[in-house]
Amino acid sequence: MSDRAVDKSISVLNSTLQPLSILVLHGPNLNLLGQREPGIYGSLTLSEINRLLEEEAIKSQVKVFSVQSNHEGVLVDTIHEALGQYQGILINAGAYTHTSVALRDAIAAVNLPTVEIHLSNIYRREEFRHHSYIAPVAIGQISGFGVQSYLLGLQALVHILRKDKV
């Protein structure tokens, strides 16, 4: 085996040993989960959702880092900072899904595989919620399954990231 082939094998081995890191972004008003319209968003708090994501991450042998902000610029800055730190993004942009070209452009700019998720089925709600600026730059969208939307989104993202590595 040539030195180049050995180096490539070591590189592949090292990349499979290092856990994937995934950025989880929660948009505006998600800090009020558990008390905000539980009939639509469920009774779990954001802390409980993050705990469930961490448990799923452990099972999937990945790392997750969660950020919640009600401020669009903070979310944009966090997406920019994801380059070189994370291999993918799981995002519930909340109302910014339907209004933020800035978040859409930030996701497109960093070019990290992104899964858009929503607790509620946005297509069974008000007409203005049916349009997503995020969807065209995401690899997929999961909505309507409550907390399972987050867990399914994480599983799908991990699957895609690992599939691309082999």
**Does 118 participate in catalysis according to the annotation?**
yes
Q: How many helices (H) and strands (E) does the chain have?
A: 6, 5
**Is 123 a known active-site residue?**
no
What is the Cβ-side half-sphere exposure of residue 27, based on CA atoms within 13 angstroms?
A: 20
- The reply to whether 3 sits in an annotated binding site is no
**Annotation-wise, does 129 bind a ligand?**
yes
Task: Please name which of 8, 56, 2, 36 lies closest in space to residue 119, comparing C-alpha atoms.
Answer: 36
Amino acid at 123: Y
Q: Hey, what are 4's tokens?
A: 């180049």
Q: State the catalytic residue, choosing from 41, 96, 133, 150.
A: 41
Is 120 annotated to bind a ligand? Reply is: yes
- Among 86, 118, 133, 150, which one carries the catalytic annotation? 118
The answer on whether 143 is annotated among ligand-binding residues is no
Binding positions for substrate = 92, 98, 105, 119-120, 129
Binding positions = 92, 98, 105, 119-120, 129
Q: Which sequence positions are flagged as catalytic?
A: 41, 118
